[in-house]
Structures are given as C-alpha cells and as structure tokens.
Structure 1
Amino acid sequence: MLATSMFQSYALPHPPHVGPHDDELNLNGHPADWRNPQPREPYHLLVIGAGPAGLVAARGAAALGARVALIERHLLGGVSLNYGCVPSQALIRTSRVYAEMRNAEAYGARSPRSVEVDFPLAMERVRRIRARAARVDSAPRIADAGIDLFFGTASFVGPDIVEVDGQRLRFKKALIATGSRSLLPTIPGLDETGYLTNETLFDLTALPKSLLVIGGGPVGCQVAQAMCRFGCRTIIVHAEPLFLPKEERDAALLLSEALARDGVEIHLNTMAVNVRVEGGKKIIETLNDGNVATIEVDEVLTGIGRLPALSGLNLEAAGVAYDADEGISVDDFLRTSNRRIFSAGDVCLEHKFTDTAEASARIVVRNALCFGRERLSMLTIPWCTYTDPEIAHVGLHVRQARERGIPVKTFTVPMHDVDRAITDGEESGFVKVHVREGGDEILGATVVARHAGEMINDLSLAMVAGIGLGTIARVIHAYPTQAEGIKKAAMAYRETSAVRWIAWVRRRWFAR
C-alpha cells in the first residue's frame, strides 16, 4: 500500500494582479509567453517544484555540469517568496514602525498627535519587495544557468518518466520538492463564508476593521500581532492552553503577554465550532470549557498547520510511498522507496522551514549525483517565530534531553540584564542555554528577544562546530549588543565551572 489516506483537493491561488509590482512578480515567476524547451533527456537530475529546495538543488546540480530539468506549475520561489517569509516579514516590519510611533515616549521621543495608518501603502511595499526578491531566481536567470525550465503540472507515468504539459521527460535521478499547503480546520460554514490564509492574506488592499485568527502557531501569532498594530481589532482563538506548543512554557507566556500589550484579544483553550454570515459580518461560535460564545468580525484567517503538496503527482506510477498527512516517505539519505527518486523540503520533512528545505536539497545533490552519504539526521536545525519579541530555538529542549537520559544544566540570562536591551527598551525575553551536565557541550538553546532570529545563529554555529559554552566565554563580543546575553550565559557557565575546580583544589589541599 503506497498511501495511507487520500489527500485533500487543493487549488493553488491565482497569481495576483493588484498592480505593477505583481505584474513584475508574474513576469519573473511565470512569464505569460514562456515556451517550454525541447527536452535534453535523460536528465541527470529532474526537479519537481521550484520553491527553496527545488531552486537550490537545480542550481547546485547545474553548477556541477549536470543536465537539469526544473518543473514548476505555479510561481517560481514557492510559498516562501510569494506567500510566506518574504511578504510576511515586510508586513511585520511596517507594523513595527507603527507600534514604535505610538510608543515613542518610551524611547525619549514625543509620540505623534495622531498615527494615521496607510494600509494600502504598506501592502504596496510588500508587493514591491516581493517582486524585487523574485528577480534573483527569475525564469530568464534560471535558463541562463543552463537549467531547462518547464511550467506545468508534473505527473509520473513510470519509475523514470515524468509528463509535463504533454511532454515526457526521462531522468536518471529525480527530486520531488513540491512543498506544502495550508492545513484548514473543518469548521461548519467556513467554506461558505470565506476566509483568508497566508496564501491570500497578501491580496488584501484595505485593512479589515476586525479579524479573527484561528490557531496560535507561528503564523497565527505573527499575523495577529501585525494586524493589531495596524489598528485592526484582532482576536485570536487557540485550542490549547498556550501559544506555540512546541516552544518552552516561559517563552509562550512571554508571547501571550506581548500580544495582550499590543491589544490582541486572546482566547486560549477555545475552539471555533461554527461560522455564519449575518448582516455582512462573519459570526463565529466558539466553545470554551462547555461555554458557547459568539464573535463578530469582518474577516477570518485560518491555517493551523501545513500539509504536504502531493496533488497530481501520480506517485503510484513511480513506486513512491507516501502518506497524505506526513508526506513522502524518505530514509536518512532522503531517498524514497524508488531509489532513483529523492525528496526534500516541506513535502517530506517534519520541520517545514525555508532553511531546512535548502539544506535538505544540498544533501540530495551530493547523495544523488556525487555518491555522497550525507544524512538528514546530522543537521542542526534552528527556527524562529517572528513576533515581537521573537522566539528562536535550536537543538534539544530540557524535556527531550531528559527523555533520552541526558543530564542537563541550564544557564539563563534575562534580557533586562543585558545593557543593549536596556538602552533599546527591549528588555522582554531571555537567553537560555542547555549544556550536558558536567561539561560545556551545548545541547540546545532558546532565545526570546527583539532580534532572537539573529542571535540564535551564534549558538547554531557553536553546536555544528562543536564549540562548547566555555569557549564562547573566551570570545570577545562587540559591546553593547544584545548578543551579549549569550556571552553572559557562557560566563555563568565559566563561573560555575571555576567554582567546581576551586572546590576540588581545596579538597585536595586540605586532604594532605
């Protein structure tokens, strides 16, 4: 049995046509007059999906001199460029400016008498930035790199043949990197009333007066905070007792406090159970501990997770095993059940991040074309939720280490002890580093800070390079920076280590 369940039908959003920036995006990402090339088969590597994983693999293989085909059915760049990281970060940055204007007195400046939000201007900036980023991997540039670029829906017709737009392409090795799509909750009335996801949010041209966000994962929390800072009445309902269930409890609590300070209305342990329209408004029934309440809003945003994008691939014809919920089955070398075919990125991985997708694609290129034996399990994967403050993590949590029988010692530095965080007025958060008890090997770390996504990279580098916390204590950090929080955690380890060494010396001395 190749598949354990049927995947849901899914229609990709149409390319946006809001203005000239979207015209440029489409020109770079899917030119209307593009003609698929004549195949140069068999391809050394055929790549399905031109998101982060597919683009990295195609460019890497072409740089080696391989014959490469790249197939994309929608827009080059995938979700990350078109509906994910790039536009969301642009929108978050503008929302942060409005928040700082309103709170200017905290920085020793006078707040404007009135802060007039221009949401259409903010969205125009989002689209301009997205179009600019799309130039890097535009269709002409990919073709200039020696890659045969095909637009259309790829479908396997055999173990080494893919059909696209009526053409059949043969390959020696193939990579499936089709990414993921939004996982939508099954709420009665939701389809009829309409909703937003991260894939349609950036089509907005006017700020909704009110918005209900269903789900307290990274996307839900980021969007809720940003939209609230634009002046939209924002409510977030989350079925669990804390946001970001994969993060540490104290990090999730700090996030709840931050959202509440910004004015987000928070409903935890709450489920949306029904949606209807009355008088042009969307009425959402919620359930909390047996109590039913209603919330009236203009828009609903949902997307409680990601599902692998498998529609139309006809994986059975290629002998590729998959699960509709978990994605394509791969081994530690990212090989599928068909040894000619590999997979990378969201369509097969638990961690659905752009950086992980790119890293897994590099593994595939080396293993498929260079006789490599690189393993997915050897990756050290950081991640970050881009709320304010940001929440970043790498490695093991304490509970995970204990489940594996690893003794852990944790060093925590609150950001209000870091001079630069004080001067910046960004004291909310902490640096928490976990080391193996009795040594300085870094097992994992969590950073909650305004720039946690930048700071976590230092700890990721240390873990990959085998640099212990004691060595970090000897590194001179530029002063003042918020990364000094990491240095302080390292110094705390060093002082603890020194105390143990002094105690040992004393015991030896007085035992004479």
Structure 2
Amino acid sequence: MKIQHFDYIVIGGGSGGYAAARTARETLKRVAIIDNADQLGGLCILRGCMPSKTLIYSAEVLHLAQQDKAFGLNIPQATVDMAALHQRKLKIIQEFSDYRQEQLQSDRFTLFRNRARFINSRTIQLDDGTRLSADHFMVATGSVVSVPPISGLDNAPFWTSDDVLDLDFKPEKVIVLGGGIVACELAQFMRRIGSEVIQIQRSPHILKEVSPSAAAVIEQKFRNEGIQLYTGTTLKSVQYRDGNFSVSFEHESRLLTVNAPHLLNALGRRPATDGLGLTAAGISTLPSGHINCNTMQQTSNPRVYASGDVAGPHEIVHVAILQGETAARHATARAAERVDYDSLCGVVFTDPQIGAVGLSENQLKERGIEYLVADYPFDDHGKSILMEAKYGYVKVFADRSGVVLGAECVGKDAGELIHAMAVAVTLKANVRDLLKVHWYHPTLSEIWSYPLEDIFDELA
C-alpha cells in the first residue's frame, strides 16, 4: 500500500490543532489536517466558549431586567424566549464556524475527514485504510466528558454540557453534578432562565480552580439567587425511573436524596486519546491520561507533539493556541519559547465573574516567595455601588520590591478588569509605575488603584 508523506500532520482541527497547522504552514509546504467531526471548528467554537458565553450573556441581561426595581425602573414580564435564544446562539456560532471551515478547507492544507491512529512511530492509518507518514505530528484531539464510577450514572440518560448548550426549552428542574467552571456557569445560566437548580459538589467548595475566598463569593451569590447548593458531599448513587432522576449523597453526616426530571453530569472531562494508538507510536501518558510533553510540547516520541486539552495542564483555548504555535515552531527548527504558565490569565464567567492572573497566593506560599498583598471590596467602590454590583473584591500580590506577581478580581466584568493586571504581570511592572496611570473616576477599573496604593505604602 502506498503511503502519502507530509511535512507535518495535525490530528484534530480545533483551536490548538489549527494554530499548529497555520504556524507550520508558514515554512512548510505539505501540511495535512485530520478531523472526523460532523462539523469543523473544535470544542471552543461549537460546544464550549462561544455558545456558552452567548447564552450566559443573554441570561445576564434577563437577570438585570428582572432587577428593575433596584434601578428605579419598571420592566414588566422580563422572561426568556428559549426558541429565540437558541436561534441567536446558532446564528452566532455559524458565523465563527464558517470562518474556521473556510480556513481548514483552503488549499493551504490537505484536509482528511476521518479518524486516525498511529501504527508506528511515524505512520498513521485512517479508518478508510489510507496510510500517511510525516516528519512531525501534532496530536490535538481535545477532551471528552468523564463519567466517574458512581453507581447508576454510566447507564443513566444524563445531559452533558453539549445538551445544555443546545436546549430550546426551559427545563423545569435540573440536578447539576459538579462544581467546576462548566458546572457553575451552566447552573447559574439555567437558574436565571427560570429553572429550579440543585447543585451537588464533592469538594468543600465549588470552583477548586480558584481561591477559597473567590469561591465563597460565588457560593453566596448562588444561594442568594436560589440555587440549592450542597458542598462537601459524597455521591452514592444515581437512579433513573419513569422519566425522573434520583441522586443520593452524603452531606454533613446525613444521607439525602434529591429528584428532578433532568441531570447534568458536569463532573469533568478527560483527554480524548481512545483509539489513537499512542503505545504503537511510543507516546507515554501521565496518570491523569494527558499526553506527557516537555516544555516545547514534544512527547516521548520526538516526532510527535501535543497541545490543548489532550496535553493539559489547563483546558483553556488560548493555552491550546500558544502550545500549538510553540510546538510548530520547535518542529520547524525556529526559535520557540515555552508557554509561560506563571503569567497566564484565567476567567470564570459566573456572575460575579472571577479573573486571575500570574501566581496565586497559594502558589506564592508553596514556592516560599515573600510577598505583599492588598485587597479592596466592590461594596465600597463608587462605580460598582451605582451599578448594584457589590459582590467581590480585587487583590494584588507583589514582591518586596513592588513588582506585581499576581492578581485576583471577583466582581462585575472581572474578565475584562483582570487584563489591566495581566499587562502588569507580563511586563513585570512595579506598583510605583502602575500608580502613574490615570485611573479614571468613576470606573470599575479605578478600583485597582486602592490595593496598589496600600502596597506602595508598605514599600515606602
């Protein structure tokens, strides 16, 4: 059988894969992309970032309208139109998807709509029997929903995030399993469109990816909005009978059972490596299932690289893009810098939002770094008070010389506000320099000046 040879082959056409293919194509002529999805575009565009944030923003507008009296307004009957909401989301996603498909199907790449598996260290075979070889490969196959070993869960017709993002009706009542970012964002979305929501988290706090103080703000807001939130639980069993789910769990030494017609399994995702033939290619994985990579995203097979959810350590689209670009530059013998995870920015799109950048307080303590810290609450800040956005705070960490090491923001538009400190962390700015900035009054951004001033006073 004749084997087609390419300079570079990418398995997976999502954000990380496309970034690698695009970067490789800058210097290489024969670049192939293999993707067997029904629709091209990847998780972020089709079933992740863009559809979820479209729905979440609509729910935020609805929630504001329903708080009309707090703003001295009278907005009668602010309700959701799920059919219209669904169609708006589809229209927006189609625009993003069309552009990505146009790029992937351009004559710059050879596109195979198929599944691939390694049969040796430098050859893959497609489901139709076609064999391809390459000088270098990129594995960017993403992740899939994980089903933990909870009695009855694997056989239950639960929803995944895909199902929630595709809803065209308002669920009466939903049980949400999990307290991670996806679970929390979708739990609040469903609550705000009018669903009764019961959320069950195994850890002591939701959002273990953020600080306990940040998680506590969101927990308070969720409960105030009517989400029945249980934390520190042990899930025992899931039963589905006659169109109804029953979930049993231990909470505060009591065995509880809750019921609802719908169940969202948001207990996490795992790397999508099934059927890839990693062993045949000499590619090792970590205990988590992620592909083991060095700082250049190179696997234990030096011909093969990996990026995005399949590689970790963060399931964030801009990390996948950076990893893909780094890997392609390294494979094509160009100058490549490793991804600097110490300056990464992260956002949780709950309301209030959470934004964080740089080193967290826990990381600073673990590394034994001496630091100064100051914070300021939104409930004492002029602009947030007049916006009725009083939940949360901002916090800044700096070293003993005043260089900003990290920051955290929990509050209105935190995902936008955190980028002021993202610039500071990336450029290793000093609080003295940041206090030269004209922080305009009254703005939300102005709140950063207060912890910066407190740290400056400690330096002085």
Runs of 4+ in structure 1 over 6 Å off: none
Q: Is the 8 A contact 1:45 1:174 kept in 2?
A: yes
Q: What TM-score does the superposition give when structure 1 sets the normalisation length?
A: 0.85
Aligned equivalent of 2:206: 243
Q: Is the 8 A contact 2:82 2:168 kept in 1?
A: yes
Q: Structure 1 residues 378, 283: closer, same or farther in 2, change over 3 A? A: closer
For the residue of structure 1 that corresponds to 2:154, the secondary structure is helix
Aligned equivalent of 2:142: 179
For the residue of structure 1 that corresponds to 2:280, the secondary structure is helix
From 32, 35, 59, the counterpart of 2:22: 59
From 119, 126, 135, the counterpart of 1:157: 119
1:463 matched to 2:388? The reply is no
Q: Is the 8 A contact 2:353 2:410 kept in 1?
A: yes
1:358 matched to 2:321? The reply is yes
Aligned equivalent of 1:83: 47
Q: Structure 1 residues 214, 146: closer, same or farther in 2, change over 3 A? A: same
| Bigger mean CA deviation after superposition, 86-95 or 199-208 | 199-208
Matched residues, number: 457
1:68-467 superposed matches below 5 A: 68-74=31-37, 75-112=39-76, 114-138=77-101, 140-144=102-106, 146-164=108-126, 165-323=128-286, 325-377=288-340, 380-436=343-399, 438-467=400-429
For the residue of structure 2 that corresponds to 1:144, the secondary structure is coil
Q: Is the 8 A contact 1:345 1:357 kept in 2?
A: yes
Provide the C-alpha distance between the structure 2 equivalents of 1:379 and 1:448, rounded to a whole number of angstroms.
Answer: 20
1:487 matched to 2:449? The reply is yes
Provide the C-alpha distance between the structure 2 equivalents of 1:358 and 1:331, rounded to a whole number of angstroms.
Answer: 16
Q: Is the 8 A contact 1:433 1:445 kept in 2?
A: yes
Q: Structure 1 residues 440, 493: closer, same or farther in 2, change over 3 A? A: same
Provide the C-alpha distance between the structure 2 equivalents of 1:485 and 1:385, rounded to a whole number of angstroms.
Answer: 20
Which whole-Å deviations, capped at 9, do the CAs of 1:81-120 have from their partners, x for residues lacking one? Answer: 11111111011111112211110111221141x3332222
| Bigger mean CA deviation after superposition, 410-419 or 333-342 | 410-419
Which whole-Å deviations, capped at 9, do the CAs of 1:330-384 have from their partners, x for residues lacking one? Answer: 1112111111111111111111111111111111121111333422356621111
Q: Is the 8 A contact 2:236 2:250 kept in 1?
A: yes
Q: Structure 1 residues 416, 371: closer, same or farther in 2, change over 3 A? A: same
Provide the C-alpha distance between the structure 1 equivalents of 2:29 and 2:380, rounded to a whole number of angstroms.
Answer: 53
Q: Structure 1 residues 44, 469: closer, same or farther in 2, change over 3 A? A: farther
Q: Structure 1 residues 262, 378: closer, same or farther in 2, change over 3 A? A: closer
Provide the C-alpha distance between the structure 1 equivalents of 2:348 and 2:427, rounded to a whole number of angstroms.
Answer: 24
Q: Structure 1 residues 427, 72: closer, same or farther in 2, change over 3 A? A: same
Provide the C-alpha distance between the structure 1 equivalents of 2:170 and 2:335, rounded to a whole number of angstroms.
Answer: 51
Two-structure CA RMSD over aligned residues (Å): 1.9
| Bigger mean CA deviation after superposition, 259-268 or 289-298 | 289-298
Equivalent AA in structure 2 for residue 174 of structure 1: F
Equivalent AA in structure 2 for residue 408 of structure 1: Y
Provide the C-alpha distance between the structure 2 equivalents of 1:349 and 1:280, rounded to a whole number of angstroms.
Answer: 37
Provide the C-alpha distance between the structure 2 equivalents of 1:496 and 1:374, rounded to a whole number of angstroms.
Answer: 35
For the residue of structure 1 that corresponds to 2:245, the secondary structure is strand
Provide the C-alpha distance between the structure 1 equivalents of 2:189 and 2:266, rounded to a whole number of angstroms.
Answer: 16
Equivalent AA in structure 2 for residue 452 of structure 1: A
Deviation at 1:201, TM superposition (A): 2.0
Q: Is the 8 A contact 2:147 2:153 kept in 1?
A: no
Equivalent AA in structure 2 for residue 192 of structure 1: N
Q: What TM-score does the superposition give when structure 2 sets the normalisation length?
A: 0.95
Provide the C-alpha distance between the structure 2 equivalents of 1:295 and 1:109, rounded to a whole number of angstroms.
Answer: 38
Aligned equivalent of 1:14: none
Provide the C-alpha distance between the structure 2 equivalents of 1:145 and 1:446, rounded to a whole number of angstroms.
Answer: 44
Provide the C-alpha distance between the structure 2 equivalents of 1:48 and 1:443, rounded to a whole number of angstroms.
Answer: 36
Q: Is the 8 A contact 1:323 1:329 kept in 2?
A: yes
1:44 matched to 2:3? The reply is no
Deviation at 1:298, TM superposition (A): 1.1
Q: Is the 8 A contact 1:410 1:432 kept in 2?
A: yes
Q: Is the 8 A contact 1:445 1:459 kept in 2?
A: yes
From 430, 437, 440, the counterpart of 1:475: 437
For the residue of structure 1 that corresponds to 2:237, the secondary structure is strand
Equivalent AA in structure 1 for residue 407 of structure 2: A
Q: Structure 1 residues 359, 40: closer, same or farther in 2, change over 3 A? A: farther
For the residue of structure 1 that corresponds to 2:87, the secondary structure is helix
For the residue of structure 2 that corresponds to 1:331, the secondary structure is coil
Question: Which consecutive unaligned segments of at least 5 residues does structure 1 have?
Answer: 1-38, 501-512
Deviation at 1:489, TM superposition (A): 2.4
Provide the C-alpha distance between the structure 1 equivalents of 2:105 and 2:217, rounded to a whole number of angstroms.
Answer: 47
Equivalent AA in structure 2 for residue 241 of structure 1: P
Q: Is the 8 A contact 1:185 1:303 kept in 2?
A: no
For the residue of structure 2 that corresponds to 1:329, the secondary structure is coil
| Bigger mean CA deviation after superposition, 157-166 or 145-154 | 157-166
Deviation at 1:136, TM superposition (A): 1.8
| Bigger mean CA deviation after superposition, 486-495 or 44-53 | 486-495
Equivalent AA in structure 2 for residue 117 of structure 1: V
Equivalent AA in structure 1 for residue 139 of structure 2: I
Provide the C-alpha distance between the structure 1 equivalents of 2:358 and 2:117, rounded to a whole number of angstroms.
Answer: 37
Deviation at 1:205, TM superposition (A): 2.3
Q: Is the 8 A contact 2:164 2:186 kept in 1?
A: no
Provide the C-alpha distance between the structure 2 equivalents of 1:384 and 1:450, rounded to a whole number of angstroms.
Answer: 12
